[in-house]
Amino acid sequence: MIEKPFGHDLPSAVALDKRLLRVAHENQIFRIDHYLGKETVQNILVLRFANGFVEPLWNRDHIDHVQITVAETVGVEGRGKSYDGTGALRDMVPNHLFQLLTLIGMEPPSHLNADALRAEKAKVLHAVRPLDPRRDVVRGQYGAGRIGDTAVAAYRQEPDVPRDSQTETYVAMKMAIDNWRWAGVPFYLRTGKALGRRRTEITVQFRQAPLTLFRDTPVERLPPNDLTLHIQPEEGVSLRFGVKIPGPTVRIDGANMKFSYSDAFEAQPSTGYETLIYDCMMGDASLFQPAETIEAGWGAIQPILDAWQQDPRIPLPVYDAGGMGPTEADELLARDHRRWRRIIR
């Protein structure tokens, strides 16, 4: 049983897999990503495949784009030396964010067993279009600021962090999955430390309905329809749709329909490790990563790691601690006439 990060880059991950397979079979190796043990993450499969109204809409004909956010309020918390050799991209993207990506993007598996589930998830990563490190990816590093009532020092002022560190604490990227279901649908991923609010969520925004019916009314735009899966700390699902504002004229606003795990089941959030350790003891690898997805994940981000190492001219903007990240990340979506879902209300 091995905890992430599994390797430091693609070559080290491949080398580690080869070393492990010299002493154990693949079905004896359990690579842990604790996100996969969370109830809200496992619920993605149930939401998609146990509800007849969801899957018919889950494709490029009805979905405009997908956002995946893993925002943390913590900084490096005294782990400056180890974190500075890792950074946000290595720490979060090929494991946590890509696991969420595969659950959203995968095809229905033939069975709910480990082999079928992991095969479909691997197909998603193999279909990821190669990223342009300069156009499709934004990195950042937090500066001084405040999170609530707490003053936060700049990353380069943290203990054991070099004063000229080029390590990113934030990364955002635009990805494409080149297959029949998702052709033309962008996936926007972001993660960062020292942000204004702790939140992990997935937002699936649907295509806008035609405005034609309302052309003779004061309605200038329709509120977006989106389905948001709240992974942590809030656990649940919300759906936003348009409603008429009471009054003599037709005015439309967005309203949320919410499901909460704590309200429905009086369930307390868990880290996910309890489930994973139990499954490992039972020999069930459904919620663990095989070598194929590990290496496919590293393969998708390896060009970014290489570009950052080879070209010091790639910007590393500083963002204020307690904010939403660098403005360059907003521009990544603005180019497509879209914007991030706000994490600070």
Residue range 49-73: average pLDDT? 96
Global pTM reads 0.94
Q: How far apart are CA 92 and CA 106, in angstroms?
A: 20
User: What pLDDT shows up at residue 250?
Assistant: 82
User: What pLDDT shows up at residue 315?
Assistant: 95
pLDDT > 70? residue 11? yes
Extract the tokens encoding 317: 């903007």
Residue range 107-124: average pLDDT? 93
In the chain, % of residues over pLDDT 90: 76
pLDDT > 80? residue 252? yes
Band of pLDDT at residue 345, cut at 50, 70 and 90: low
User: What pLDDT shows up at residue 266?
Assistant: 77
Q: Which of 255, 241, 245 is nearest to 205 (CA)?
A: 241
Q: How far apart are CA 93 and CA 304, in angstroms?
A: 12
Residue in the block written with tokens 């069975």: 111
pLDDT > 70? residue 255? yes
Helix or strand (DSSP H, E) at 124: helix 114-126
Q: Where are the domains of the chain?
A: 2-55+63-203+288-334
CA 172 vs CA 12, 130, 197: distances in Å:
24, 15, 16
pLDDT > 70? residue 303? yes
172 or 80: which carries more pLDDT confidence?
172
Q: Say if CB 59 and CB 182 are below 8 A apart.
A: yes
User: What pLDDT shows up at residue 92?
Assistant: 94
Band of pLDDT at residue 164, cut at 50, 70 and 90: very high
Q: How far apart are CA 58 and CA 45, in angstroms?
A: 12
Active-site amino acid positions:
96
User: What pLDDT shows up at residue 55?
Assistant: 93
Question: Is it true that domain 2-55+63-203+288-334 has CATH number 3.30.360.10?
Answer: yes
Q: Which of 116-130, 161-175, 213-227 has the lowest mean pLDDT?
A: 213-227
User: What pLDDT shows up at residue 272?
Assistant: 83
On average, the pLDDT of the chain sits at 92
Extract the tokens encoding 65: 């784009």
- Encode pLDDT of 182-199 as tens digits: 999 999 999 999 999 999
pLDDT > 90? residue 254? no
pLDDT > 80? residue 79? yes
User: What pLDDT shows up at residue 312?
Assistant: 84
Q: Which of 46-60, 71-85, 202-216 has the lowest mean pLDDT?
A: 202-216
Cross-strand bridge partners of residue 176: 186
User: What pLDDT shows up at residue 344?
Assistant: 76
Which residues in 51-70 are b (16+ Cβ under 10 Å) and which e? eeeeeeebeeeebbbbbbbb
Residue 103 half-sphere exposure, CB side, CA atoms within 13 Å?
29
Q: How far apart are CA 13 and CA 20, in angstroms?
A: 11
Residue range 249-277: average pLDDT? 85
Q: How far apart are CA 277 and CA 256, in angstroms?
A: 36
- Encode pLDDT of 15-43 as tens digits: 999 999 999 999 999 999 888 888 899 99
Q: How far apart are CA 49 and CA 57, in angstroms?
A: 12
Band of pLDDT at residue 93, cut at 50, 70 and 90: very high
Q: How far apart are CA 284 and CA 281, in angstroms?
A: 8
> Amino acid identity, residue 217?
T
Q: How far apart are CA 106 and CA 104, in angstroms?
A: 6
Q: Say if CB 285 and CB 303 are below 8 A apart.
A: no
Q: Which of 212, 209, 238 is nearest to 222 (CA)?
A: 209
Q: Helix, strand, or coil here: 203?
A: strand
Cross-strand bridge partners of residue 244: 252
